[in-house]
Amino acid sequence: MKQFFGLIIVAAALCLTPSCKEGVDNDGKTLILQDSVVTVLATWQALKIKVDDNKTQMNVIVGDATFYKASAEEKGKKALELGRMIIRIYGANSYLEKGNLIVTNDVKNNSETPADGISTPIDFVALKKEAGGK
């Protein structure tokens, strides 16, 4: 009888345990993004992707001495291209709402907020609408 109640408790605990599927899925998408950034920013040398806890904001921090010197217009074009790629990877119904492409001259950057970082916004809401999402 004790074993029966023990099995019921274990089964209940397994049923009530939250699923980690979403976290694993997003981790896989982030790895795909890391591998794909080169298609938009061919000369990057340091890369950090930061998604906030509620998954609505993403910052892509790139260490790239060449792209750091590019015009604001060129950075805007690349941010838009990167944003479109992110929406293709994460899906038009993802939680993402806003983000930034942050470029630093430091090719060994490992900071989420580099001192010399130049930030260009990414409007995921508009890009999701463009892609047919919510």
Domain boundaries, the chain: 43-134
Nearest alpha carbon to residue 98 among 79, 116, 115: 79
Residue 19's pLDDT is: 39
- CB-based contacts of 48: which residues, under 8 Å, 6+ apart? 60, 61, 109, 110, 111, 112
Per-residue pLDDT of the chain (134 residues; tens, 9 = 90+): 555 444 455 454 444 444 333 444 466 899 999 999 999 999 999 999 999 999 999 999 999 999 999 999 999 999 999 999 999 999 999 999 999 999 999 999 999 999 999 999 999 999 999 988 76
Residue 24's pLDDT is: 40
Residue 132's pLDDT is: 87
pTM for this predicted structure: 0.79
- CB-based contacts of 73: which residues, under 8 Å, 6+ apart? none
Residue 21's pLDDT is: 37
